[in-house]
Amino acid sequence: MQALENKRVLVVGLGASGRAASDLLRKRGAKVLAIDSAATPQLRREADALRTSGVEVRLGVKEPPGDALDLAVISPGVPTQSQLVQDIRRRRIPLIGELELGYQQSLCLNIAITGTNGKTTTTELVERMLKHAHRTTVAAGNIGLPLCAVVDQTRELDFLTLEVSSFQLETIRFFRPAVAVLLNVTPDHLDRYPSMADYTRAKARLFLNQQAFDWAIVQSEALAQMRSLNLEIPSKVVTFSANNRRADLYVDRGLLLSRLSDWTGPLFDMDKCRLRGPHNAENLMAALAVGHVLRISLEEMAEALMSYEPAPHRCEWVAEINGVRFVNDSKATNLDAVQKALQAMPAARAGEPNVLLIAGGQDKGFEFHDIGPLLSQRVKRAYLLGETREKIRAAWSLFTPCTVVASLLEAVQQSAANAVPGDIVLLSPACSSFDMFQNYQQRGEVFRQAVGQLKQPPRGAAGGPNIPVGGSESETGQPVRQAI
């Protein structure tokens, strides 16, 4: 554990991670200077709270301060290629991220989960499974609770269950998971990474410090991507895949199967849980593999997975009204997530496209035409909003009719007015939310509220069944919460 007492430490970025790092550093006796390039009213309030604990805070800072420093800790939202970070490195100040700081101060083993999609669901599955098996754990990291905020609890834990992003992995030094999970690597954050190869290398850093007796649980397609870049894994490997039947764990008609020599046969029937689709099959297989290497019984794992309640904003059924289903997949901030959502949607009986897709937001550098063939099969019309609306329309209009709208409310109203029984109105944006919303959660809540504002015409009135009613309830009046 690195000694921090009386060290002069710079914290860059005052989001949740930066504030948690500042608090931990002060508790460890460091002299902390925290900076942020912004100076919003909210940041000023948070800065005042930090100052009461002895942290020096400077807002609106674009360059590193000239103060003598022993260490710099950066938040994951601060790009490592930024001028400020490059200046810190030129001064030869040791630089780590908040994840690394928390790891160095922790007192238990960790299970770390990364991937383009499915990180939060798998982290929650693993946390639930461990707790059901009477192992003490806390889910932290990219899931919303910074690792630095739970360090003082680690003395009492069996494991930390960590959701880890590629941004966090960029700035690790000694971070080492006892069990490392890589779910998938598909195009994302191409506004930050020059190429998919660079993005893959960032994800592969998860295994950088593992030893031969540690475990790596890896989607077989992601493992092939790593090997194509000569990125090797030093630990014991278990593979899984929804598409590759040669993987150690694989799927056959909703049944999760294992061919591991010490664990052969059927493991879990997806019909017995609330998760649906090939992407969730992989999340479940990854969780089962974690439980297996930790010697949790299959019976205990199955009980935990069957009772798992899917998190909101991930293929969440908001309502079924007059035969039209409304699904909130606001968490889908890249094309792979949209593809998986579309593949998971129930098809129309006649095999015709039955999805009215709401998409758009802040650009992340995608080539939107990549999912064109799937759009032509599943999407009746796309309603496009936000910063990327014209870019997406140019890419998608060859495959499906596209309508540009000014707001999410307008998108819901227009899609509802044009839906017929058997259709699905799907919010699956393929973009980040920051051009119009605080985060994907707020975007999903606005979608729910917009569905709730739809009004039913009087019985027998003209307009037919394509004008839905109600809020986040089914026609029976029961709340609908299921991840597809």
- Tell me, what CATH number does 41's domain have? 3.40.50.720
For the segment 365-369, the average pLDDT, to the nearest whole number, is 90
Q: Are residues 376 and 454 in the same domain?
A: yes
pLDDT tens track for 428-481: 999 999 999 999 999 999 999 999 998 555 444 443 333 222 222 222 233 334
Q: Are residues 246 and 320 in the same domain?
A: no
- pLDDT for residue 348: 86
- Range of lowest pLDDT (160-164, 249-253, 306-310): 306-310
Burial of residue 295 (CB within 10 Å: 0-12, 13-18, 19+) is exposed
DSSP state letter for 409 = H
For the segment 100-120, the average pLDDT, to the nearest whole number, is 97
Domain count for the chain: 3
Confidence bin at 53 (pLDDT 50/70/90): very high
Q: Are residues 140 and 268 in the same domain?
A: yes
Q: How far apart (Å, rounded) are the C-alpha atoms in residues 218 and 60? A: 42
Dihedral sign, Cα of residue 382, residue 388, residue 394, residue 399 = negative
Report yes or no on 167 lying in a domain: yes
Q: Are residues 186 and 58 in the same domain?
A: no
Q: Are residues 155 and 288 in the same domain?
A: yes
Last residue of a domain, one of 306, 340, 355: 306
- pLDDT for residue 472: 29
- pLDDT for residue 276: 86
For the segment 250-260, the average pLDDT, to the nearest whole number, is 96
What are 264's strand-pairing partners? 259
Report yes or no on 147 lying in a domain: yes
Dihedral sign, Cα of residue 78, residue 82, residue 83, residue 87 = positive
Q: How far apart (Å, rounded) are the C-alpha atoms in residues 133 and 127? A: 10
What are 268's strand-pairing partners? 256
Last residue of a domain, one of 274, 306, 338: 306
Q: Are residues 22 and 144 in the same domain?
A: no
- pLDDT for residue 480: 36
Q: How far apart (Å, rounded) are the C-alpha atoms in residues 378 and 411? A: 18
Report yes or no on 154 lying in a domain: yes
Contact 244, 220 (CB under 8 A): yes
Report yes or no on 477 lying in a domain: no
Q: Are residues 270 and 133 in the same domain?
A: yes
Q: Are residues 177 and 227 in the same domain?
A: yes
Contact 18, 98 (CB under 8 A): yes
Q: Are residues 80 and 135 in the same domain?
A: no
Q: How far apart (Å, rounded) are the C-alpha atoms in residues 276 and 289? A: 19
Distances (CA, A) of 425 to 107, 354, 482: 47, 9, 15
> For residue 175, how many other CB atoms are within 10 A of its CB?
27
Q: Are residues 119 and 251 in the same domain?
A: yes
Q: Are residues 236 and 327 in the same domain?
A: no
- pLDDT for residue 1: 65
The model carries a pTM of 0.83
Q: How far apart (Å, rounded) are the C-alpha atoms in residues 321 and 143? A: 32
Alpha carbon distance, N-terminus to C-terminus of the chain:
43
- Residue range of the domain that includes 410: 316-466
Q: Are residues 229 and 114 in the same domain?
A: yes
